[in-house]
Chains A and B, each alone.
Chain A
Amino acid sequence: MYGNRLFKIGFLTILSTCLLAAAPDIEQGKTSFKNNCASCHNKNMKDKLTGPALGGSVERWSSFPKSDLYKWVRNSQGLVAAGHPRATELWGQFKPTVMTSFPNLSEDEIESIFLYVDGVFKGTYGPKIDNAVVSANETTGSSGISTIWIYVAFAILLSLAMFLWNVMSDLSYTRKLSHGEPDAKRDSIWEKLTSKGVISLVLFGLILFGGYTTVNNAISLGRQQNYSPEQPIKFSHALHAGLHKIDCNYCHDGARRSKQSVIPGASTCMNCHTAIKKGSQYGTAELTKIFTSIGFNPNTGTYIDNYENLEQNVIDTIYKKWIQDNYKEINKVTEINEDAQAEINLEWSDIVNSMTGPNKPKIQGSIEWIRIHNLPDHVYFNHSQHVTIGKVACQKCHGNIEDMKVVRQYAPLSMGWCINCHRETDVKFKENAYYESYKTYHEELKKGERSSVKVADIGGLECQKCHY
Chain B
Amino acid sequence: MKKYDQKSWISDRDLSNDETLLKEMNSERSTESISSLLEDDLSIEINTNRRDFLKLLGFGISAATLASCETPIKKAIPYTLATDEIVPGIANYYASSFINGGDYCPIIVKTREGRPIKIEGNALSSITRGGTSARAQASVLSLYDISRLKNASKLSTDKSDKISWSDLDNEIANGLNANSKIRIVSSTIMSPTSKKALKEFTIKFPNTKHIMYDAVSSAALLQATQNCFGVRGIPDYKFELAETIVSFNADFLGTWVSPIEYASQYVKGRVVDAEHPKMSRHFQFESQMSLTGSNADHRILVKPSEQGNAIVALYNLVASKLGAPSLSNMEINEKAKAALSKVAEALLNTKGKSLVICGNNSLEQQTLVFGINQMLGNIGSTVSLNRLSNQRQGNEIEVNALINEMNSSQVDALIIWNANPCYDLCNAMQFQDAMSKVKLRISLNTILDETSSNCTHSAPDHHNLESWGDAEPKTGLYSLIQPTINPIFETRQAEHSFLVWSKSAMLNATAEQPYYEFLKSSWKEKFGSANTNFQAFWDKSLHDGILETSNNTNSNIAFNGNCAEAASKLKSSNSTGLEIMFTENVGIGAGQYANNPWLQEIPDPVTRCSWGNYVSIPISFDGDRRFVSFENINEDGTLAQLTVNGNAQKFGAVKQFGLMSGTLSIPLGYGRTSAGVCGTNVGTNVFPYLKADANGYTQYYIDGAELKNLNEGIEKAFACVQHHHTLGVTAIEKSSGKKINADEAALIDDAFKPLTKGYQGSLTDRTILRHSNLSELKEHVESLKEERKEAQKLNSNSLYPGYDYNYNSGHHWGMHIDMNSCIGCSACAVACVSENNVPVVGKREVSRHHEMTWLRIDRYYYGDVENPNVVYQPMMCQHCNNAPCENVCPVNATNHSSDGLNQMVYNRCVGTRYCANNCPYKVRRFNWYDYTESDLFPGNSRMMAGEKDKPYYAENLVRMVLNPDVTVRSRGVIEKCSFCIQRIQEGKLNAKKESRTLRPNEIKSACQTACPTGAITFGDMNNKESNLSKKLKNPLNYIVLEEIGVKSVVNYTMKVNNRDESIEA
Give every chain B residue within 8 A of A440 (Cβ-Cβ).
Answer: 808-809
Known: A262-B87, A376-B907. A389 touches B993 (CB 8 A): yes
Check B801 for interface membership: any CB of A closer than 8 A: no
Asked whether, in the complex, the Cβ of B89 is within 8 Å of the Cβ of A258, the reply is yes
Known: A265-B81, A463-B895. A441 touches B809 (CB 8 A): yes
Closest-by-CB residue of B relative to A389 is B992
CB distance from A11 to the nearest CB of B (A): 38
Asked whether, in the complex, the Cβ of B82 is within 8 Å of the Cβ of A268, the reply is yes
Check A294 for interface membership: any CB of B closer than 8 A: yes
Check B901 for interface membership: any CB of A closer than 8 A: yes
Asked whether, in the complex, the Cβ of A370 is within 8 Å of the Cβ of B897, the reply is no
A262 to B898, CA, bound (A): 32
Query: Of B810, B968, B1023, which one neighbours A458 at CB under 8 angstroms?
Result: B810
Asked whether, in the complex, the Cβ of B809 is within 8 Å of the Cβ of A370, the reply is no
Asked whether, in the complex, the Cβ of A294 is within 8 Å of the Cβ of B81, the reply is yes
- CB-CB contacts of B128-160 with A at 8 A, as 1s and 0s? 000000000000000000000000000000000
Give every chain A residue within 8 A of B988 (Cβ-Cβ).
Answer: 434
CB distance from B71 to the nearest CB of A (A): 6
Known: A464-B978, A468-B981. A371 touches B74 (CB 8 A): yes
Asked whether, in the complex, the Cβ of B78 is within 8 Å of the Cβ of A369, the reply is yes
Query: Of B68, B87, B992, which one neighbours A385 at CB under 8 angstroms?
Result: B992
Check B553 for interface membership: any CB of A closer than 8 A: no
Asked whether, in the complex, the Cβ of A462 is within 8 Å of the Cβ of B997, the reply is no
Closest-by-CB residue of B relative to A227 is B71
Asked whether, in the complex, the Cβ of A377 is within 8 Å of the Cβ of B968, the reply is yes
A370 to B1023, CA, bound (A): 46
Query: Of A366, A374, A437, which one neighbours B79 at CB under 8 angstroms?
Result: A366
Asked whether, in the complex, the Cβ of A464 is within 8 Å of the Cβ of B905, the reply is yes
Known: A369-B78, A462-B898. A380 touches B965 (CB 8 A): yes
CB distance from B84 to the nearest CB of A (A): 9
Query: Of B73, B903, B993, B998, which one neighbours A463 at CB under 8 angstroms?
Result: B903
Most buried by A among B75, B897, B905: B75
Query: Of B903, B985, B996, which one neighbours A380 at CB under 8 angstroms?
Result: B985
Closest-by-CB residue of B relative to A444 is B809
Asked whether, in the complex, the Cβ of B934 is within 8 Å of the Cβ of A374, the reply is no
A459 to B500, CA, bound (A): 60
Query: Of A224, A259, A377, which one neighbours B90 at CB under 8 angstroms?
Result: A259
A260 to B78, CA, bound (A): 11
Give every chain B residue within 8 A of A366 (Cβ-Cβ).
Answer: 77-80
Give every chain A residue within 8 A of B985 (Cβ-Cβ).
Answer: 380, 465, 468
Give every chain B residue within 8 A of A388 (Cβ-Cβ).
Answer: 993
Closest-by-CB residue of B relative to A307 is B80
A366 to B68, CA, bound (A): 29
Closest-by-CB residue of A relative to B76 is A371
CB distance from B804 to the nearest CB of A (A): 10
Check B967 for interface membership: any CB of A closer than 8 A: yes
Known: A434-B998, A459-B898, A467-B967. A370 touches B75 (CB 8 A): yes
- CB-CB contacts of B882-919 with A at 8 A, as 1s and 0s? 00000000000001011101010111100000000000
Asked whether, in the complex, the Cβ of B966 is within 8 Å of the Cβ of A468, the reply is yes
Main secondary structure of the interface of B (DSSP, over half): loop
Give every chain A residue within 8 A of B982 (Cβ-Cβ).
Answer: 380, 468
A384 to B87, CA, bound (A): 12
**Chain A residues numbered 254-290 whose CB sits less than 8 Å from any CB in chain B:** 254, 257-260, 262-268
CB distance from A308 to the nearest CB of B (A): 9
A121 to B57, CA, bound (A): 53
**Chain A residues numbered 293-318 whose CB sits less than 8 Å from any CB in chain B:** 293-294
Check B732 for interface membership: any CB of A closer than 8 A: no
Give every chain B residue within 8 A of A365 (Cβ-Cβ).
Answer: 80
Give every chain B residue within 8 A of A467 (Cβ-Cβ).
Answer: 905-907, 967
Check A432 for interface membership: any CB of B closer than 8 A: yes
Check A238 for interface membership: any CB of B closer than 8 A: no
Asked whether, in the complex, the Cβ of A434 is within 8 Å of the Cβ of B996, the reply is yes
Check A82 for interface membership: any CB of B closer than 8 A: no
Check B778 for interface membership: any CB of A closer than 8 A: no
Check B1022 for interface membership: any CB of A closer than 8 A: yes
Check B995 for interface membership: any CB of A closer than 8 A: yes
Asked whether, in the complex, the Cβ of B981 is within 8 Å of the Cβ of A437, the reply is no
Asked whether, in the complex, the Cβ of A378 is within 8 Å of the Cβ of B907, the reply is yes
Check A23 for interface membership: any CB of B closer than 8 A: no
**Chain B residues numbered 984-1011 whose CB sits less than 8 Å from any CB in chain A:** 985, 988-989, 991-993, 995-998
CB distance from B110 to the nearest CB of A (A): 15
Give every chain A residue within 8 A of B88 (Cβ-Cβ).
Answer: 254, 258-260, 262
Check B811 for interface membership: any CB of A closer than 8 A: yes
Check A436 for interface membership: any CB of B closer than 8 A: yes
CB distance from B900 to the nearest CB of A (A): 11
- CB-CB contacts of A411-428 with B at 8 A, as 1s and 0s? 000000000000000000
A265 to B82, CA, bound (A): 5
Closest-by-CB residue of B relative to A271 is B82
Give every chain B residue within 8 A of A432 (Cβ-Cβ).
Answer: 992, 995
Asked whether, in the complex, the Cβ of B907 is within 8 Å of the Cβ of A385, the reply is no
Query: Of A262, A294, A380, A437, which one neighbours B80 at CB under 8 angstroms?
Result: A294
Asked whether, in the complex, the Cβ of A367 is within 8 Å of the Cβ of B77, the reply is yes
Contact-residue size bin, chain A (C-beta under 8 Å from the other chain): 35 or more
Asked whether, in the complex, the Cβ of B78 is within 8 Å of the Cβ of A262, the reply is yes
A44 to B991, CA, bound (A): 47
Known: A378-B967, A464-B978, A464-B981. A434 touches B995 (CB 8 A): yes
A253 to B87, CA, bound (A): 9
CB distance from A68 to the nearest CB of B (A): 48
Asked whether, in the complex, the Cβ of B934 is within 8 Å of the Cβ of A377, the reply is yes
Asked whether, in the complex, the Cβ of A459 is within 8 Å of the Cβ of B995, the reply is no
Give every chain A residue within 8 A of B907 (Cβ-Cβ).
Answer: 376, 378, 467
**Chain A residues numbered 359-374 whose CB sits less than 8 Å from any CB in chain B:** 365-371, 374
Asked whether, in the complex, the Cβ of B967 is within 8 Å of the Cβ of A468, the reply is yes
**Chain A residues numbered 211-254 whose CB sits less than 8 Å from any CB in chain B:** 221-222, 224, 227, 229, 253-254
Check A20 for interface membership: any CB of B closer than 8 A: no
Asked whether, in the complex, the Cβ of A439 is within 8 Å of the Cβ of B809, the reply is yes
Most buried by A among B73, B76, B988: B76
**Chain B residues numbered 775-834 whose CB sits less than 8 Å from any CB in chain A:** 808-811
Asked whether, in the complex, the Cβ of B967 is within 8 Å of the Cβ of A377, the reply is yes
A346 to B87, CA, bound (A): 37
Query: Of B68, B978, B1023, which one neighbours A468 at CB under 8 angstroms?
Result: B978
Known: A384-B993, A389-B989, A464-B901. A258 touches B87 (CB 8 A): yes
Give every chain A residue within 8 A of B1022 (Cβ-Cβ).
Answer: 437
CB distance from B486 to the nearest CB of A (A): 14
Give every chain B residue within 8 A of A382 (Cβ-Cβ).
Answer: 89, 989
- CB-CB contacts of A437-468 with B at 8 A, as 1s and 0s? 11111000000000000000011001111011
Give every chain A residue within 8 A of B81 (Cβ-Cβ).
Answer: 265-267, 294
Give every chain A residue within 8 A of B898 (Cβ-Cβ).
Answer: 458-459, 462
A253 to B78, CA, bound (A): 12
A61 to B301, CA, bound (A): 109
Check A150 for interface membership: any CB of B closer than 8 A: no
Closest-by-CB residue of A relative to B934 is A377
- CB-CB contacts of B42-81 with A at 8 A, as 1s and 0s? 0000000000000000000000000011010111111111
Query: Of B69, B87, B981, which one neighbours A254 at CB under 8 angstroms?
Result: B87
Give every chain B residue within 8 A of A438 (Cβ-Cβ).
Answer: 809-810
Asked whether, in the complex, the Cβ of A266 is within 8 Å of the Cβ of B75, the reply is no
Asked whether, in the complex, the Cβ of B995 is within 8 Å of the Cβ of A264, the reply is no
Asked whether, in the complex, the Cβ of A378 is within 8 Å of the Cβ of B906, the reply is yes
- A432-B995, A433-B997 provided; 8 other pairs, C-beta below 8 A? A366-B80, A367-B78, A368-B75, A377-B968, A434-B995, A436-B997, A464-B905, A464-B981
Can you spell out 10 A-B residue pairs with CB atoms less than 8 angstroms apart? A259-B90, A265-B80, A367-B80, A388-B993, A389-B992, A434-B988, A434-B997, A437-B1023, A458-B898, A463-B908
Residues of chain B having any CB pair with chain A under 8 Å: 68-69, 71, 73-82, 87-90, 808-811, 895, 897-899, 901, 903, 905-908, 934, 965-968, 978, 981-982, 985, 988-989, 991-993, 995-998, 1022-1023
The 8 closest A-B pairs by CB, nearest first: A259-B89, A265-B82, A258-B89, A440-B809, A371-B76, A263-B78, A463-B905, A260-B89
